[in-house]
Amino acid sequence: MIRLSFWLILGFAFVAVSSCQNKSFKEKGMITHWPNGPFIKYEHNPILQPTSGFESKSVYNPAVIVENGKFSMLYRAEGEDTGTGAIGLAFSKDGIHFERYSNNPVMVREYDYEKEGVEDPRLVKFGGTYYLTYAGVGIQTPGNICLATSTDLINWAKKGEILQPRSGAWNSHQIKAGAIVPEKINGKYVMYLQGEVEAWKTRIGIAYSDDMIHWYELLREPIMRPRSGYFDSMGTEPGAAVVLEEGILLIYNGWNEELVHKTGWALFSKEKPTEILARSEEPILESTKDWEGHVVFTESIVEYNGTWYLHYGIMDKVIGVATYRGSNTDLKMNL
């Protein structure tokens, strides 16, 4: 568990901390700097762009993990003949300047359940094993949650589909975006996921596992829905989770009826991971420049040496990064 205050991370975010406290920090005049929110975009974004071959068209929607001062990034890539995606690998010492693995891609489509491509990696590690969830675009379903394991981020053992849409349920049309919580919760592995009945009208649900391989849903309803009048008024999709002292922080992507994608957060209870304790009123990351279009899409949050990194896809074409560094002193000054 990361022993760093929730408010230290998001103290300058535009937040509501309870249903009875409906004004954000910004509305209360408590923000004296960080005018665009707590995460500041790297001024030389994008940090990764298409090159050739399997990634000649686009690179986006990365998953990042940091270990011993080394950032490892798995990213979705598309070329002229790779279907909807393959997965590449890149490394960095600072979380900003990445060098690609020389023998990319590290994962491509192979089986019927991923016949059209492998998409949108999300990454956690337990012990010495990396667990990668991804969306397989298959013959029978437009999306599913697939799992692969590795000990080196290069050689992956595919475990197949671990969750599929359920007939008659809230996710009967499509299920994807499995964001695994990187610590056991109440003795179980926990995963937040997206489901839908109608295209783009997505919700967030929850699944559990005893062994990280076999997953099951206990509920037939979602645990988080879009909100009318907010940036996530039409759809929500999990990005990545991190465990704090205050609860499980889920970074998620939301969009409105115009399909403008922005990044927000929700804090779930560790005692009851279906219960939302707090949720952002405003996005913590969104498009602010013309070349960014209307889509930023975040699938990872990592911390290194007191700095938090959001690596994200931009317009399904390139990859950017935004960072936040704060201190308890900064927090007290603004509160």
**Domain for residue 115, yes or no?**
yes
| pLDDT reported for residue 82 | 75
Whether residue 72 is contained in a domain is answered as: yes
* Alpha helices by DSSP H, the chain: 6-10, 328-334
Provide CB contacts within 8 A for 73, sequence distance 6+.
48, 62, 63, 64, 89, 90, 91, 92, 98, 311, 319
pLDDT in tens, 220-231: 899 999 999 999
Q: Quick: pLDDT tens for 143-173.
A: 789 999 999 999 999 999 999 888 889 999 8
138 pLDDT band, cuts 50/70/90, is: confident
CA distances from 252 to 210, 261, 280, 297 (A): 25, 10, 10, 9
The reply to whether 1 falls in a domain is no
Contact 124, 108 (CB under 8 A): no
d(CA 291, CA 315): 9
Q: What count of other Cβ atoms lies within 10 Å of the Cβ of residue 29? A: 8
The whole-number pLDDT of residue 229 equals 96
Does residue 227 sit within a domain? yes
Burial 98-128 (b: 16+ CB within 10 A, else e): bebbeebbbbebeeebbeebbbbbbbbbeee
Q: Give the pLDDT score at 139.
A: 72
Both tokens of 332, joined, read 């007290």
Domain assignment present for 170:
yes
Range of the domain at 225: 6-334
The CATH number given to whatever domain includes residue 295 is 2.115.10.20
Tens of pLDDT, residues 12-43: 343 333 332 333 333 333 223 333 447 899 99
Q: Residue 121's closest CA among 315, 299, 265, 252?
A: 299
Task: Write down the pLDDT at residue 19.
Answer: 31
- Which range (3-7, 119-123, 255-259) has the least confidence? 3-7
Q: How many domains does the chain have?
A: 1
From 13-17, 45-49, 99-103, 329-333, the region with the lowest mean pLDDT: 329-333
Give 73-94 pLDDT, tens digit per residue. 999 999 987 777 899 999 999 9
Mean pLDDT, all residues of the chain: 87
- For residue 301, is it within any domain? yes
| Average pLDDT of the residues in 180-184 | 97
Q: What residues contact 153, with CB distance under 8 A and at least 6 apart?
A: 72, 74, 89, 106, 130
Contact 14, 298 (CB under 8 A): no
Q: Phi and psi dihedrals of 218, rounded to 5?
A: -95, -25
Q: Is residue 252 part of a domain?
A: yes
